[in-house]
Structure 1
Amino acid sequence: MKNKLQYNSKVSHILFILIIGIMLLNGAYTLHSITSEDQQSHTRTLLVSKSNEILNDINLLNATLGTCSSNNETCSSAAIQLLVEELNLEIARFQSIVSQEKSLASLTGTLGFDLLQLHIKEYKQTLDTNKLATSIEEASNTSIAIINSLLANYSDSNTREDTQTIYKVVAINALLLCVFILFYFRNARLIKHIEVERQRAHATFKTISNNLKTIDQEKVKERISNITTTSIEKNIYAKLLTSYEQLEGQKSQTDLYQRLYNLLGYEIRGITNTIQGGVKLLVKDSDENGALLAKEIISATRTLENLADNFNRISNIDSSNTEKTINFYNLVSELIVLGGTKSKQHSKHIECFVENTIPQQMHGNQTGLFWILLLQISNRISASPYSNVLLHVGCSGSQQVDKLTITFTLYFYDEDYETVDHVEGLDWDSASNKDITNTELSNNLLNGIKNYQAMLHTIEKAEKIAISFDVHTSHYTPLSNRLAGKTILLCGTANIHLDILQKILISEGAKVVIANTANDIFMMMKDLNANDGIFLTDHIKGITLDSFCKTLKARLSARNIKLMMSMSNSVDIDDIYNHVDYIFYHPFTPTDFIEHIVKTLESVGQEEEKLASSFLIVEDDRVQQIILNKILSGFDFQCQGVDDGEKAVSLIKEQDFDIIFMDCIMPNMGGIDATLLIRQYEKENGLPPTTIIGATALKSNKEHKRCIDAGMDYVISKPYKNEEIYSVIKKYMAIRKVG
């Protein structure tokens, strides 16, 4: 088939070239004919015209001579000589033209004109008019015959040439038509043959396409072995079989990796559950500092648990789905927590500044974006030789009007810069740049997120990573002015941490006053109003934080001015939490920092807080319920009691409580089942977990572990004791003050 197609194609090309050649020949001949005819026609027209003029001159000369002879008048020799000269001149011009069109003149002859010229020559010698008249009359008849013959030949020549031209054009066009017909039939056969082959190939591919809907690897092997399968089909099935084998190998490897990922994630979750349960069992015998340390351990295990969940989800990620929603505030908060942990592991100090203009939600896959950002940030924190890290998260308009450009910028340096603007204003324009985008990973994980890029910029004594990507926001309502009307007195060592605090508070509408020393605080606090606040950092020169906070809080309580503190390490907390209204660990996360400041500023005083605290007692034994109620009332706490776990669950859905004292063993619904339902309700509705303190008469560790596994925070033993109850509440108060 291939050879036949090649042969027909070659012949068709030759015929096509012949057609073009004949058409060009026809055009050239036509152009030549038109040009030649124009020249010949002009010459012949002149020849005929001169013949007519000679004929007229002869007639005029004959008439003049005849007049002179009949009247016996003496004619003017001058007039006759003028006519003779004019006739002689016309004959000379005629002979000149004849030399250009010899074919026409040769058919006629010019002898008559030669005799006429001889008679004119004799007349010039003798000036004999009578003899001239006799000879002219004889020659004129011959000349008239010559001219008439010339005109006839002129007409015949034109007719003959036109006929020849027509024959030539018809012959050329006939040849062109023959070649074209031959070309058409040749190509018609070729087109028909190609169409048959195309239909055959289409039928083959259609058959293969239909078979692919139900075919598997074994059926592919059968098709290859079948003698009815064409060579084209066998080639296709062979390629398909190879693809099947490669796909099966990749699938087996992927399944293995996925099982390993899931196993690793589940093992991490099991370990974190064990750690959390063990810590909760041990903390019941510790003091407030132990409770705070326990909270930090539990917070770390929850972060690890979230990391394990993300690890499991990434193995099952559906990268083709771009309609998932990213909770960007939560994602940034997780990255800040993990970035802070990574920095501590490498003895680095990290600060984070998150603009309040970033979107709350956007389209994309949160797990994929989380992991690629975590890998990029974590790897650079580990690799960078500098001791200070600044993370700046912001957004700006994209080149596409319906999108935003999100930026994560990590700065690494050793100098003690005072402001964020100072770090960002370094000579980054002269930096050496390197593209560190993981293109393969971003293409696989970031469908729905466009133009992801990571650039490393290096200058002397500093470097930065600039990560940017475009997103389509699903909920973009920047949070701002939540602190409008509030005044915050900010005190600490002048550094980037203080600058970030100032920027965040101002962006939320607060009036910020800077106090450089402890004495400045006492001088400036007189200008503060109720529900304003003082915010201290853990770097204030010349003071002991514990005693300073105790003295300061004593002066603030009566005016309902709140005292807050930023800590970088829980080891340094000591008993400070007893003298402040709230403690923040930095770097701050955007999900709850401002929210906790607002709640702290708007909260009541410590004594009023006790009265405002609401406790729920879930106890089926009426006597035990009265005893616990009396103990709590003795500490000026408000209490409410129910005698069944089901009632407790219903009441939780209608009312908020600070602490729930839950009897573990009750008729109908016990405390363990009730705790499980309460935790499920809180998780489904995104509510913060309420502190649940279990109470049981059983003292075995197994029973206590069952309560902790159900979701209780602490377990106390019956009968209730004043000191134990107060210790538990004191632990709760301390934990509630620490972010």
Structure 2
Amino acid sequence: MAVGVISQIIIGLQWHNQTTEYSKMLHSELVSSSHQLTRTTQALLTTISRSQVDTLQKEIAHFKRVASAEKAKISLVGNVLYPQLELAIAKFNANSDYQQLQNTLVQLLPALQASQQNLIAAINNDAQQAQQTLFFRSMTVFLVFNLALCALLLLVATATKRKGTQSKQAQSGVSELASQLEHISAHEITEILNDINTPPEQRRIFSNLSTMYQDVEQQKRNADLYRQLYALIGYEIRGMTNTIQGGVRLIAQEAGENGAVLARDITLATNTLSELADNYNRLISGGNSTASGNVTFLPLMSELLVHLSAKTQHSQRHLECHLGSHLPGDIEGNPTSLFWVLFLQLSNAISAQNEPHILFHIHTEAANEVEQSRLVFEIVFLPTNAVNLHDIKSADWQLVDEKSGINDEWSKAILTKVTRFESAWLRSTLILPQQDNNQDQQQTSMEKLRIGIDITPKSFHHVERSLENKHLMICTDSQLQIDIMSKMLAQYGATIEIIRSANAIFKSLTRINDFDGIIITDTIKGIQLKSFCKTLHSRLKKSTKTKLFLAASESSTVQDTHEYVDRVFFTPFVAHELIPNLTEAMQATEETNEKAQNAFLIVEDDKVQQFLLKKLLSKQGYDAHTVSDGAQAVEYMKEHGADIVFMDCIMPGMGGIEATKLIRQREQDLDVFHPATIIGATALTSASEHKSCIEAGMDYVISKPYKSDEIIKVIKKYMAIKKIC
């Protein structure tokens, strides 16, 4: 038997070595050079250039040199194919007759492909013969081994009869032990080990079982420790990013307009670290392991777009975004995995390309299953922005085989509630428009990465025509930007007029007050942006209707112009964020009377965050009192009271949740008619954290670091409720 086993092992090793040798031959220099020679010949049929012909000549010489060293696999004796190729190249070098060379290559290409196939067939044939030989050897050893095994079984059967009685006794003992172990506890195991009457065999079993119990308990304690550690790391990282962002904003406020521009850049740079903290917190709250859940789609795409925009700005490129219609509102899935799979795919694509203009296009298609929709994410790389959306969408896109993104199977495994995921690179020819009548049309190529994901939508985004009867002027000379902004604003009901050149802008100054808003982009050529904004600003001083807005692609353009415009919007635009802000900016309502009638209290242990929030409120005309912990907040509310309280949820000593409970209990005891509005502030993003805040009696929960728009929004909501009451 030992000889049979050893023989099979030897045959198995020989089989493995033969398989390895076969794989090496398929990837050998001979096969690779033959394959490359065929590909180069095929490429020459499409486009013939002097450099490609030289490359083909070098590859023929390289193949012949490799073939001469592998005569066992291929023989060039009597083979006229490669001399004919060399002769065709020599004739081309002599007369530069492209047509003659192309005709010759067309005739020789089938023979060249057949030669490559014959080479692979010869390798396959050798491998098959070697495997057949090893198979026959293995079968011979197997038969001999079976005969020996039959003889051994006869001996074992005889011995089994003798041990039958002993086996029944052992089985009874095992059944009794199994019943004993079924509901045993750690305390009972200790008692059995302390009993001197326990047989040695059972003592050994229960001793091992006791060790296993101890190991399991230790692992549970370690798991709890790691969980607490992850929570602490996530909270500390988020706290650090809050302090960084808060400190930057504070310094920027003291430094003036240049500091404000710098603050935005540094704040964007801390977003990646903040995302890490969010992932930690989602891990702690079970977000990554949740089998089902809803993803709010458009805010997730906004977050993705911010990161992609930061990446393109670092490489001095311009990113635009176009969202199609019928996009989902909520979808089934996991937001963390969906975000990172898309970000890695698209980020790698951006790194692999050098085109100066990039279009990120999201739209939907019909999926394979009726209840699902296919989300399509396309990132298109353009050499110019003088092209419209229709030309991009209707182009003849062809698959590019040699490019690939992240492994699709890996992405599908990471995502949840996704039945189909695929990515592909495509290429098309772009015809550039004429710059003047004397210039011929130019052609250039463009490429895109296309990602298709089948998802289950829970709801769809509804577009409200909130810009109905609004007349807007857009000043830009980018055709791509014109298409995107016009379609987006018209979808929300606005009437659009496009100004493409500097002269047209100045001609339109006489009727500038006819517009509700003027949007100037920082990409328009032929004007000094600061001077032009200053001129328009002076013309619009007496107008209570027309607002001037700047669409900035990077922070540096805001530095000299922001004091002359009513609002700055950073591109690329996302409609569900731009339209509410644009509508609010055009309304520009004043609330000075209401501001003076409300008392504010800030409860925050972080001095930087405390000062930052007070500064934000001060800029809006609100005066706020500050305390550093929950106990001080409870005492202040007893003595002075406040209409709106910004309450940090986690503080040393008494936290915000406990303080809120005490404040609400006192209001209930005193039957307060208008209880204070308590706004919780937390760096954590888990659902359980927010739930605890609401259950304690808080009216809203906002995320740190504090954001001016979010603060203003929540205050306005409180004032509206108070006004109704």
TM-score normalised by L of structure 1: 0.50
Query: Are 2:377 and 1:408 aligned?
Result: yes
Deviation at 1:347, TM superposition (A): 3.2
Question: Within the alignment, does 1:562 sit opposite 2:547 as a pair?
Answer: yes
SS of structure 1 residue aligned to 2:345:
helix
User: 1:362: which partner in 2?
Assistant: 331
Match of 1:593 in 2: 578
Q: Distance in 2 between matches of 1:535 and 1:561?
A: 11
Within the candidate set 582, 588, 597, 1:640 is matched to 597
Which whole-Å CA distance do the structure 2 matches of 1:509 and 1:213 have between them?
71
Q: 1:679 to 1:584 in 2, by over 3 A?
A: farther
Q: 1-side partners of 2:562 and 2:330: how far apart?
A: 35
Corresponding residue to 2:529 among 545, 550, 561: 545
> How far 1:585 sits from its partner (Å)?
0.9
Pick from 491, 496, 505 the counterpart of residue 507 of structure 1: 491
Over alpha carbons, which structure has the higher Rg?
Answer: 1
Q: How does 1:267-278 map to 2 (within 5 A)?
A: 268-278=237-247
Write the deviation string for residues 214-270 of structure 1: whole angstroms up to 9, x where unpaired.
Answer: 899xx9xx9xx9999xxxxx9xxxxxxxxx9xx999999999998997676455424
Query: Residue 350 of structure 2 aligns with which residue?
Result: 381
Distance 1:277-1:521 versus aligned 2 partners, 3 A rule: closer
Between the aligned partners of 2:392 and 2:472, the Cα distance in structure 1 is 25
| Separation in structure 2 between the aligned mates of residue 209 and residue 476 of structure 1, nearest angstrom | 57
Aligned with 1:681 (options 679, 686, 697):
679
Q: Name the counterpart of 1:308.
A: 277
Partner residue of 2:459 out of 472, 475, 488: 475
3-state secondary structure, aligned to 2:365: strand
Instruction: Output aligned runs, 1:114-513, within 5 Å.
Output: 265-266=234-235, 268-298=237-267, 300-302=269-271, 304-310=273-279, 312-313=281-282, 321-429=290-398, 431-432=400-401, 436=405, 438-439=407-408, 441-458=410-427, 461-513=445-497
* Kept after mapping to 2: 8 A contact 1:410/1:465: yes
Cα deviation code 1:642-666 (max 9, x no counterpart): 49779xxxxx9xx999342223369
Mapped contact 1:433–1:458 kept (Cα < 8 A): no
Distance 1:377 1:251 in 2: 40
Aligned to 1:668: 636
Distance 1:438 1:681, change over 3 A: farther
Q: Compare 593-602 and 267-276 and name the one that shifted more.
A: 267-276
State the one-letter code of the partner of 1:658.
Answer: Q
Q: For residue 592 of structure 1, give the secondary structure of its aligned residue in structure 2.
A: helix
Say whether the 8 Å CA contact 2:400–2:425 is kept in structure 1: no
CA displacement at 1:711 relative to structure 2: 7.2
Whole-Å Cα distance in 2 between the matches of residues 261 and 410 of structure 1?
35
**Corresponding residue of 1:138:** none
1:417/1:423 contact within 8 Å kept: no
Q: Distance in 1 between matches of 2:588 and 2:375?
A: 35
Given that 1:493 and 1:540 are in contact with CA atoms closer than 8 Å, whether structure 2 keeps it comes out as: yes
Q: Show CA shifts across 1:74-119 (max 9, x none).
A: xxxxxxxxxxxxxxxxxxxxxxxxxxxxxxxxxxxxxxxxxxxxxx
Q: CA deviation at 1:466?
A: 0.9
How far apart in 2 are the matches of 1:249 and 1:385? 53
SS at match of 2:646: helix
Q: Could you say which residue in structure 1 is the equivalent of 2:500?
A: 516
Q: What is the identity, as a one-letter code, of the residue corresponding to 1:668?
A: Y
How far apart in 1 are the matches of 2:220 and 2:380? 41
**Hey, what does 1:737 align to over in structure 2?**
none
Contact between 2:519 and 2:548, CA under 8 Å: does it hold in 1?
Answer: yes
Aligned length: 444
Determine the C-alpha separation between the residues in 1 that align with 2:221 and 2:541. 67
Q: Deviations over 1:45-77 (max 9, x none)?
A: xxxxxxxxxxxxxxxxxxxxxxxxxxxxxxxxx
Q: AA paired with 1:587?
A: P
1:18-37 mapped onto 2 (5 Å cutoff) = none
Matched, 1:533 2:511: no
Cα gap change, 1:528 to 1:344, in 2 (>3 Å): closer
For residues 215 and 439 of structure 1, what CA distance do their matches in structure 2 show? 48
Q: Quote the residue 2:144 is aligned against.
A: none
Distance 1:210 1:465, change over 3 A: farther
How far off is 1:404 after superposition?
1.6
Give the Å deviation of 1:518: 3.2
Q: Tell me the secondary structure at the aligned position of residue 285 of structure 1.
A: helix
SS of 1:370 mapped into structure 2: helix
Q: Quick one: structure 1 residues 414 and 262, their matched pair in 2 at CA, closer, same or farther if it must change by over 3 Å?
A: farther
Deviation string, structure 1 residues 428-456 (Cα, Å, up to 9, x no partner):
13543756453454344322222122222
Change in Cα spacing, 1:262 to 1:283, as seen in structure 2 (3 Å) is same
State the shift of 1:344 in Å. Answer: 2.0
Query: Structure 1 676/531 Cα, relative in aligned 2: closer, same or farther at 3 Å?
Result: farther
Alpha-carbon offset, residue 562 of structure 1: 1.8
Distance between the aligned counterparts of 1:664 and 1:396, measured in 2?
A: 53
Counterpart-to-counterpart distance in 2, 1:432 and 1:404: 26
Q: 2:200 & 2:530 partners in 1: Cα distance?
A: 89
- Residues 74-153 of structure 1 correspond to what in structure 2 (within 5 A)? none
Residues 431, 459 of structure 1: 8 Å contact kept: no
- 1:214, 1:437 → 2: CA distance? 50
Contact 2:647 2:680 in 1 (8 A): no
> Are residues 267 and 255 of structure 1, via their aligned partners in 2, closer, same or farther at CA, if it must alter by over 3 Å?
same
Give the C-alpha shift of residue 481 in structure 1: 2.4
User: Structure 1: which amino acid aligns with 2:646?
Assistant: T
Q: CA RMSD in A?
A: 5.1
SS, match of residue 449 in structure 1 = coil
Counterpart secondary structure, 2:238? helix
1:305 maps to amino acid = S
Q: Report how far residue 555 of structure 1 moved.
A: 2.6
SS of the aligned residue for 1:554 comes to helix
User: In the superposition, relative to structure 1, how do residues 680 and 323 fare at CA in structure 2: closer, same or farther (>3 Å)?
Assistant: farther
Q: Cα 1:421–1:248, aligned 2, differ >3 Å: closer, same or farther?
A: farther
Q: Call closer, same or farther: CA 1:683–1:643 in 2, change over 3 Å.
A: closer
Question: Could you tell me how far apart the structure 1 residues matched to 2:228 and 2:383 are?
Answer: 43
TM-superposed CA distance for 1:550, in Å, is 1.9
Q: CA deviation at 1:339?
A: 0.4
Shift of 1:593: 0.8
CA contact (8 A) 1:346 1:382 kept: no
- Structure 2: gaps spanning 5 or more residues: 1-170, 193-198, 206-212, 430-444, 604-613, 649-675, 685-702, 713-725
Percent of aligned pairs sharing the same letter: 31
Contact 2:412–2:418, Cα closer than 8 Å, also in 1 = no
Distance 1:213 1:332, change over 3 A: farther
- Measured in 2, the distance between the counterparts of 1:252 and 1:444 equals 31
What is the 5 A alignment of 1:622-633? none
* 1:135-182 CA-partner distances (Å, limit 9, x unpaired): xxxxxxxxxxxxxxxxxxxxxxxxxxxxxxxxxxxxxxxxxxxxxxxx
Tell me if the contact between 2:313 and 2:554 (Cα under 8 Å) persists in the aligned partners.
no
Instruction: Measure the CA separation in 1 of the matches of 2:413 and 2:507.
Output: 59
